[in-house]
Chains A and B, each alone.
Chain A
Amino acid sequence: MTAPSHAAGSAVDPDSLEDRLRRFATIWSRAIFPVTATSMTRPEFEQHLLPLARQLSQALHARPFEPQAAHRIGAALVEAHCTDPDALSRTLGVIDSYLILYCGAGAGAGIGTGAGTGSGAGAGGEPEQTADEGRARCARLQHALAAGYAHALRECTLAEQEAIARSSLLARSDAVQAMHATEARFRAVFEGAAIGIGIADLDGNVLEVNETLTRMFGGLEHHVRGRKVTDWSHPEDRPHFWQLYRELVRGEREHFRVEKPFFRTDGTVLWTNLTVSLLRDADGRPQYQLALMEDTTERRLLNLRLRYEATHDALTGLPNRTLFFERLEKALSAGDGARFGLCYLDLDGFKAINDSLGHAAGDRLLVEVADRLQSCATAPGEMVARLGGDEFVALTTGPDTQHEVDELAARILGVLASPICVDGREFTVRGSIGIVEGPAGERTTAEVLRSADITMYRAKSAGGNRFETADPEADARAITRHGLTTALPAALEREEFFIEYQPLVHLGDGSVHGAEALVRWCHPQHGVLGPDRFIPLAEHTGLIVPLGRWVLQEAVRQARFWQERHSDGGPLRINVNLSPAQLHHPGLVADTVDVLERSGLEPGALCLEVTESALIGADEDLLKPLRQLAEMGVDIALDDFGTGYSNLANLRRLPVSVLKLDRSFTQGMQRHPADPVDLKIVEGIVSLAHSLELAVTVEGVETGAQAEQLRELGCDTAQGWYYARPGAPDRIHSLVLADAV
């Protein structure tokens, strides 16, 4: 807008037009500020009104008079958020009362301090308007302002109404779009889910299924959609499945979860983890059922396979120990009147076959045995399992186990009777069977197995290739291998072993020549056990090495003790047995040297006894440690001579210096007169031994006559009950003393 030319000086002139306009704006502002919604402060608002006041003033004086100018002022009020109609009426009131007064012709004189110059009114040079004209113009301006205000307010209202309506529509369409997006997302989730999803109505009609579910059923949609849920029964359904289903569709249950099989399109079985949920409508009434299913077929197969592998023997494919114990457990916990029958089979002499043919052939033999055994147990309730090694079991839970189990055992021995061909060679495999039969619910699996094991050993001791039936009294007496084996290590630690000594007597003069150390086990429950009871077990577990070392150490220490006490009685010898496992142990020589050095016993006072069978087929590697010991001066005795099939010629290359004749040779001499054949044999052996520079010791001398015979035959030393039974070390001590007297 163009400012009046003289406005510049108005600031200093209280009566100037500018000052009067400011005062008009102040009055105007005071009148309408309370009814505005502006966020401006009152001074700001007043400042805002000032240009409007100026425009009014100009319009009042403009020539030609154009009342439309006030139209814009009305609109400006609306723009300044003076939308309350009161703002209009108050504005009109202010204009009516004050516009002429402050801005009319001669206004400068009419108000204020009366400078009366007339300056400022109107545009320069224009004739002054009359008071009437001014009043008329003022009224016209009010009309125009009101019209402008009304017009602007109407426009503004319409515009804002349209804006808010459009925003509502926009928001609504955004919401609909979001809804569609969500729906699309749900559909994508539904279609792309890795689990099968299906929706059915409460009558069981399948309404909707996803692709995954269709694929799980074999890929044909019509096979699934449009079917009834109730068509999907399967013989292996859990009995309560349909019960749960009925509860759900009746609204008595919100959901349930089961493992359920289905038939696929091609008739194969689909296993699923199935969750069925009830969907209710907005009022809570049951509306649909929702099924979520996860295909567990493969997992199930894998589980079955893992379960099979965990319960079957890899070599023979027979059920293994685990499965057998499960079955036995089940049989033993069966209800009243149930009985069970168990055959515990151990092959006779399998170890020898395994050792001579190698493990691969041994395994083939076991496979064949397993196949034959399997053919014996085909009736329901019968099973064969391999417990390990050459131990098998057959279990029967048939109706008449008392009879059946014997038949089963007989069948087993029967199928083993024909030779087995392995690697082109035929083997006759025999077995010993222990049978346990009885009512369920009386014994634990461990008790049954122990009884079967004991009984099997009874069959084996009776010569094998037979079966024996368990006898509770025999069981009670029996000491199981297992029990002893597990007790062995602790026994060594707890020093339950001790040594007895049996004197070796010089046949020439009857003097005590030495003693054989014989280990005993003072078992806390079973009392004193001889070496035949536990040495094989110690051999098997490897405990023989520490045990043997202990025996050697103890015996050598004892020999040294005797020597110290009887320095005049000549060197007293000590014989110690070496088991085959000790013979193979790489520390044998070093251990022996160590023991001798520690005790101070000279090597020549020690004689190590090795059984003939341990040296059968011995190669140079095995003989080397013995040779080293012999070179040191330790005597090596060949124990139990005459029981094996030793090649007599072979004796020459063995580093032995003593032959110990087995007691079987001396038994024939207990009679009187002695068996002449036995005499001849012994004579021959003694002669042979002596020609090889070997001394001969005889065992099992029980009578004076025997002793005399043997002396005559040229035997060098003897031991046996005739002289003394094995006993405590001090007994040797007193024998030696007696001898010396």
Chain B
Amino acid sequence: MERPAWAPQGIDISVPSVSRIYDYYLGGSHNFEVDREAARKAMEFMPGLPKIMQANRAFMRRAVNYAVGEGITQFLDIGSGIPTFGNVHEVACRASPDARVVYVDHDPVAVAHSRAVLDGDDRSTALAADLRKPRQILDSPEVTGLLDLDRPVALLLVAVLHFLEDQDDPYSAVAELRDSLAPGSLLILTHASYEGVPIPEEQAGGAVGVYRNIRNPLVMRSRDEVARFFEGYEMVEPGLVSMPLWRPDAPAEEEDPYAFSGFAGVGRKA
């Protein structure tokens, strides 16, 4: 039965959205001038931002392929944003025809767009929900209908946890998700950090300021802080590393220096 929901806040496209900004960094046109304006401002401080997004994308692709290689066919992608190209369901379905994907985002526009993209695909679906309320995600008809949580699931938290402030208690939220998954499940995660950024921290801080101004604060966390999200899971080799260093399939030296910003890792539930 569908839970009666309170009316969502009105949709205001005059406010920048991080998922549309992300699309812009990746050369997409699923964005509006407000989004591009914010993106351009951030890029004034960190011109290589698109390379970070691209590295995220490439890592996600490798991690999904790795998961399929481990026999996992169920994917829960929270903070999925605007589906541009090389999305989880494309990568996963190319690797395994049995793959099932649930996309979760709290941006109603991103979810509406995902639904349009996934129209007619009965193995993938999108759901509007908030990472801060994991129960609502896990108990949603989308998740319970498409995924079998008694079997391993690959949980993707790619470039999303840095949008949760400490007062939102992201560790509890992630812990609840981790605890709900079956043994053998994978946690695929990337997180922004000042570590690895090829420019001075003060300069990178300017980009962080842009996000703060659009009321989507970007929380830079240290390696240890990011590692805590994997608590109880064992890290898959090579552990928590810069994105290009995680199981690369091309020499890392060819990568753009910005691609080494932040951390990526995959953990497995024993």
Contact = CB atoms under 8 A, between A and B. Distances in A.
Interface of A: 34, 36-43, 81, 83-84, 156-157, 159-161, 163-164, 166-168, 170-172, 174-175, 178-179, 181-183, 185
20 contacts: A37-B27, A37-B28, A37-B50, A38-B86, A39-B57, A41-B58, A160-B29, A164-B20, A167-B109, A168-B112, A170-B112, A170-B115, A172-B11, A174-B108, A175-B8, A175-B10, A175-B108, A179-B7, A182-B4, A185-B4
Contacts of A83: 27-28
Given A81-B84, A175-B11, A182-B4, 5 more contacts: A41-B58, A175-B7, A181-B7, A182-B6, A182-B7
Of A166, A178, A183, the most chain B CB neighbours within 10 A belong to: A178
B121 interface: no
A499 to B, nearest CB: 84
Contacts of A171: 11, 108-109, 111-112
Interface string B97-112: 0000000000011111
Given A160-B30, A163-B116, A42 B7 contact: no
- Sorted nearest first, the 10 A-B pairs with minimum C-beta distance are A167-B113, A160-B29, A171-B108, A37-B27, A39-B86, A179-B7, A83-B27, A182-B7, A171-B112, A172-B11
Contact of A39 (B28, B58, B113, B116): B58
Nearest to B54: A37
A167 B28 CA distance: 15
Given A39-B61, A41-B250, A43-B249, A163 B113 contact: yes
B116 A170 contact: yes
A84 B27 contact: yes
B163 interface: no
Of B6, B31, B108, B111, the most chain A CB neighbours within 10 A belong to: B108
Interface string B27-49: 11111100000000000000000
Interface of B: 4-11, 13, 20, 25-32, 50, 53-54, 57-58, 60-61, 82, 84-86, 108-113, 115-116, 249-250, 254, 256
A42 B254 contact: yes
B30 to A, nearest CB: 4
A303 B7 CA distance: 43
Contact of B112 (A42, A167, A181): A167
**Chain B: interface secondary structure?**
loop
Contacts of B10: 172, 175, 179
Nearest to B57: A39
Of B8, B25, B32, B57, the most chain A CB neighbours within 10 A belong to: B8
B16 to A, nearest CB: 13
B6 A174 contact: no
A156 B85 CA distance: 13
B189 to A, nearest CB: 17
A43 B250 contact: yes
B7 A178 contact: yes
A175 B20 CA distance: 19
Of A161, A166, A175, the most chain B CB neighbours within 10 A belong to: A175
A40 B85 CA distance: 11
Contacts of A179: 7-8, 10
A161 B29 contact: yes
Of B13, B50, B84, the most chain A CB neighbours within 10 A belong to: B13
Contacts of A160: 28-30
A145 B72 CA distance: 42
Contacts of B8: 174-175, 178-179
Nearest to A180: B7
Contacts of A172: 10-11
B30 A163 contact: yes
Nearest to A166: B116
Nearest to A162: B29
Given A170-B112, A174-B112, A178-B5, A39 B85 contact: yes
Contact of B116 (A34, A161, A167): A167
Of B20, B29, B256, the most chain A CB neighbours within 10 A belong to: B29
A156 B30 CA distance: 10
Of B4, B30, B111, B256, the most chain A CB neighbours within 10 A belong to: B30
B11 A164 contact: no
A164 B82 contact: yes
Of A40, A83, A164, the most chain B CB neighbours within 10 A belong to: A164
A152 to B, nearest CB: 12
B252 to A, nearest CB: 11
Contacts of B110: 167
Contacts of A36: 27
A28 to B, nearest CB: 16
Contacts of B27: 36-37, 81, 83-84
A164 B31 contact: yes
A648 to B, nearest CB: 95
Of A43, A167, A183, the most chain B CB neighbours within 10 A belong to: A167
A192 to B, nearest CB: 14
A84 B29 CA distance: 12
B13 A41 contact: no
B117 to A, nearest CB: 8
Contacts of B31: 164
A81 B50 CA distance: 13
A160 B85 CA distance: 12
Nearest to B110: A167
Of A39, A159, A174, the most chain B CB neighbours within 10 A belong to: A39
B262 to A, nearest CB: 17
A584 to B, nearest CB: 73
Contacts of B116: 163, 166-167, 170
Contacts of B109: 164, 167-168, 171
Nearest to B82: A164
A164 B29 contact: yes
Contacts of B58: 39-41
Nearest to B56: A39
Nearest to A78: B27
A183 B6 CA distance: 9
Contacts of A81: 26-27, 84-85
A157 B113 CA distance: 15
B50 to A, nearest CB: 7
A156 B256 contact: no
B240 to A, nearest CB: 21
Contacts of B28: 37, 83, 160
